[in-house]
Structure 1
Amino acid sequence: MDELLNYQAILAKNSPKKWHRYLYSQIPVNERLIGIKGLRGVGKSTLLLQLLSEKLSQGSRALYVTVEHPYFYRSSLFDMASTWYSYGGRYLFIDEIHKYPNWSRELKLIYDGFPDLDVVFTSSSALDLYRGESDLSRRLFVAVLHGLSFREYLSINGYFSFAKIEIEDVLNRSMEITQSIFENLKHPILPLFKDYLKSGYFPMTLEFSSDQISQRLIRIINTVLESDLSQIQGFSADNLIKIKQLLGAIAESVPFEPNISKIAEKMHLGRQTVNLYLKNLEDAKILQLLYEKTKGISLLQKPGKIYFENSNFLFSFQGTPSLGTIRETFFLNQIKNAGHLVGLAKKGDFIVNENLTFEVGGKNKDNSQIKGIEKGYLALDELEIGFGQKIPLWLFGFLY
């Protein structure tokens, strides 16, 4: 146990203290078992260490462990929790639970056996935390940590810390809100937005140049495929090659309108297998699948369009992606990350929460494609201040 406490002390000393991601204040205090999912590189470990530091500063007995520590070569997760509980431990923070075999069974044993011990753990976004050898659905609270919103990007880079904005205010008060933002932001917004779209979705924006970030994102995607998905889904080497081929085909022409039959024939796979691979890539936060319906989507339903999960991935794969694709990817990403339902619109580009229609484009786009729609809006790039139906695209980056 001493080696775990010493390792924790080193990490806690060097973890950021002053700036917190949006999820930090949303972690419920009355839940005994909390799982935090998210793509690699979005800051899950940092969040866990910040939660640890908070508990330690309050005088609580709290322990951070990563399942990759050599301690677990010889001891089980349950044995470690039992020892910590006997020491009077009150909180246990476990990093990267998906790398531990039988994780769900041992979490259930910990939850049931140590009623005064609160557990918070992180996992790959590809892991279905409600699946496993033991049923955790009645015990587990799941939270998702997304990449940085544009609002968080401005804050983490020291420009200004803005409060998040509800979508109703974005739609109804865009002129007032944008003017208020410019009163506090002493820097042109559009160049900052352009930088964010290329390389600002991950907290590593503080450490590396945009070119370095693009290279690192390719490595992140490969690690997700070769480690997370392979381990979680039990993929063989052949499965992995097929998934990379599928991702490569999508990367050539996103937003991709898939013909599942043709893809299946070309790759010598069944239609159901192709749909399953697409769903795996969405769960892993590499792709976003868009459907005409926003509810009741079956596992094997064909998506209408496929996007990368975020615009930074676009630049990593394509180098110079089209402006239209960048804009749509950003809008879809920020709206979905804020918890809204998004589907393909019959008129316009997207339908949000089943009653809001959006057309995404440049500042000179007119409203012809949403004409006659009661709740139709234009989300426009290269526009600083909103008015009427015309809303600056960057403002949707303040939703979370």
Structure 2
Amino acid sequence: MNQIIEKYIRKQVYETPIIVSRKISTEENIKFNKREDYYKLQQRADDFLNRENEKRFFVLPGLRGVGKTTLLLQIYEYLLNEKNVNPKNLLYVSCEEINFAGEVNIKEVIESYLKIFHNTTPTLLDEDVFIFIDEVHYDRNWAMAGKIMFDKSPHIFMIFTGSSSLHLSYNADAARRLRTQSILPLNYSEHLKLKYNYFTDISKDLNDLIFKGEVESAQKKELKIQNDLISVKDYKLNDWDNYFKYGSFPSTLNEKYTSDIVRDLWSIIYRIVSNDISNIFNINRNTQNLIYRILTFLAEQKPGEISQNKVAASLNCSTSRINSIFNILEQTQLIFHCEAYGGIKKRVRKSWKYYLATPSVKNCINETLGNTILDKSDYEGVLLENLVASSLHNLSYTGDLPLFNTYYDMDKGGVDFIVQKHFQTPIPIEVGMGKKDNKQIKKAINKLNADYGIVISNKTSSIEKDEDIIYISPKTFSLL
């Protein structure tokens, strides 16, 4: 047995019960609020303890900074203090820390833990243990290790976290054992819950507004939220503006200065490129530098101005190399794309529009490295388009709704987005800062024979419906 790994495991089992509360609380010892993902995992742990479900291997992919480690430690603390699980039956380890000691081998870590603290093997284990492993992508065989442990013992409950591209690392055999729960950046509803302990259930009503054109229920809840926030303790009038440019990552929620937030976000981007992408895709320093240049290019451009050919020409690289890096960035969820609306032939011929994961990522890169959009209103309009694209992308990605697709309008002067569920009428969406014009949306409604269209604009303070056009403020839309 690797003596360094053995010492690390002993240290983790002895120290984690002592320090866990500190890691999931503020400096004033106030526990962090819990996002919805926590309650789903808590229920899974309860099911395991009560023998009500056989699912006991869960994988949480997500960008750095979205709160995966906090989720693991919150579940750990729940089992320790509320379910009275013996500390020796709880193991939390970080593969990023183990990596400093040598090559990570999750199978060896789990077997060593069982030998040290239970004097047994996975097959002979006769009591329930909970194993939480952070940053599992440092072990290329993490999925097989989890699958082997799952098969050897019904007494092992596992939660693994790691890069957003974890889905690339397991085969169909492992997939049958594990359940994936992607951890996404915060929408504004989650931001309010985590930062101010304010709860809202408007999301479903906004879903119905967008996909069914039903506005009344969303209007009532929007008004309630507007009235409630006036009396929420410590809530500032510019909170949404800060969320818009600097929010969506729980790790920056309690930062006081925007300069510190920008540095923290840049650190997240840096570690994704230099650690996660480099480890998973085995790229060299030159390719890392090219990735930074591509991210900078994407951040300073308007989405409609981006094509892989243009990026290749601007950076003096081959289109094939640029295409490969775009694929890597999409797999790690630092960027995503929208295709043109239309038939397969049209979509194949047209370039894709690319967006950064959140407007805060786009803004962070621009504030760190500078941008070429000099007009403040134009710049905020580009960020707002990114926010809407991110919200729609994440909503589709969670699977909370029947599958829908988000496209861009390829017509000159067309709307920004067209969303469509399979076989249903498409819905045009226009986005803009400083305007509430209805010419484009009217044209799109007629062209698509849509029942209604949606305008997301800061010229609207509350949800309105005027004939076949629904107007929504960016702040309300971000609650989706």
State whether TM-score is above 0.5: yes
Is residue 2:196 matched to residue 1:152?
no
Please name the residue that 1:78 is paired with: 107
d(CA) in 2 for partners of 1:121, 1:361: 40
SS in 1 for 2:64: coil
Residues 1:3 and 1:350: Cα distance change in structure 2 (over 3 Å): same
Tell me whether 1:216 sits opposite 2:264 in the alignment. yes
Structure 2 equivalent of residue 275 of structure 1: 323
User: Where do 5+ consecutive residues of structure 2 fail to align?
Assistant: 1-8, 26-30, 45-52, 115-121, 368-375, 397-403
- Letter matched to residue 474 of structure 2: L
Under a length normalisation based on structure 2, what TM-score does the superposition of the two structures give?
A: 0.75
Shift of 1:302: 7.0
Of residues 154, 177, 186 in structure 2, which corresponds to 1:115? 154
Deviation at 1:293, TM superposition (A): 5.4
SS at match of 1:291: strand
Which of 5, 8, 11 is the matching residue for 2:16? 8
Q: 1:376 to 1:242 in 2, by over 3 A?
A: same
Candidates 453, 467, 471, aligned match of 1:376: 453
Which residue pairs with 2:144 in the alignment?
A: 105
Question: How many equivalent residue pairs?
Answer: 396
Tell me, in whole angstroms, the C-alpha distance in 2 between the residues paired with 1:50 and 1:152: 16
Aligned ranges 1:145-294 → 2 under 5 Å: 145-158=183-196, 160-166=198-204, 167-169=207-209, 171-173=213-215, 174-186=218-230, 191-203=238-250, 204-255=252-303, 257-292=305-340
1:53 aligns with 2:77: yes
Identity, in percent, stands at 24
Cα distance between partner residues in 1 of 2:427 and 2:462 = 21
Cα 1:93–1:324, aligned 2, differ >3 Å: closer, same or farther?
Answer: same
For residue 205 of structure 1, what is the amino acid of its counterpart? L
After superposition, the C-alpha distances for 1:121-176 in whole angstroms (9 at most, x for unaligned) are 10011x23353478422122111111221112222221622124121146522422
Tell me, yes or no, if the aligned pair for 1:8 and 1:65 is still in contact at 8 Å: no
For 1:75 and 1:268, the matched residues in 2 are separated by: 37
Of the candidates 357, 377, 390, which is equivalent to residue 428 of structure 2?
A: 357
- 2:5: which partner in 1? none
* Shift in Å, 1:20: 0.6
- Measure how far apart 1:18 and its partner are: 5.0
Structure 1 pair 261–384 and aligned structure 2 pair: CA distance change class (3 A): closer
Partner of 2:94: 66
Partner amino acid, structure 2, of 1:139: R
Determine the structure 1 residue equivalent to 2:40.
Answer: 26
> Contact (CA 8 Å) 2:307, 2:351: kept in 1 or not?
no
What are the Cα deviations for residues 240-267 of structure 1, in whole angstroms up to 9, with x where unaligned? 2222222222222132533333433454
Is the CA contact (8 Å cut-off) linking 1:149 and 1:201 kept in structure 2? yes
Stretches of structure 1 lacking an aligned partner (at least 5 in a row): none
The residue aligned with 1:345 is 409
Q: CA deviation at 1:359?
A: 0.5
Amino acid at match of 1:110: M
**What CA distance in whole angstroms lies between the structure 2 residues aligned with 1:190 and 1:154?**
13
CA distance in 1, matches of 2:341, 2:187: 25
70-79 vs 33-42, greater mean Cα deviation? 70-79
Please give the alpha-carbon distance, in whole angstroms, between the structure 1 residues aligned to 2:104 and 2:236.
Answer: 52
8 Å CA contact 1:105–1:134 kept in 2: the answer is no
CA RMSD of aligned residues (A): 2.9
Structure showing the higher helix proportion among its residues: 2
- Higher relative contact order (CA closer than 8 Å, sequence separation 6+): 1
- The CA distance in 2 between the partners of 1:213 and 1:198, in whole Å, is 10
Q: Secondary structure at the match of 1:64?
A: strand
TM norm structure 1:
0.88
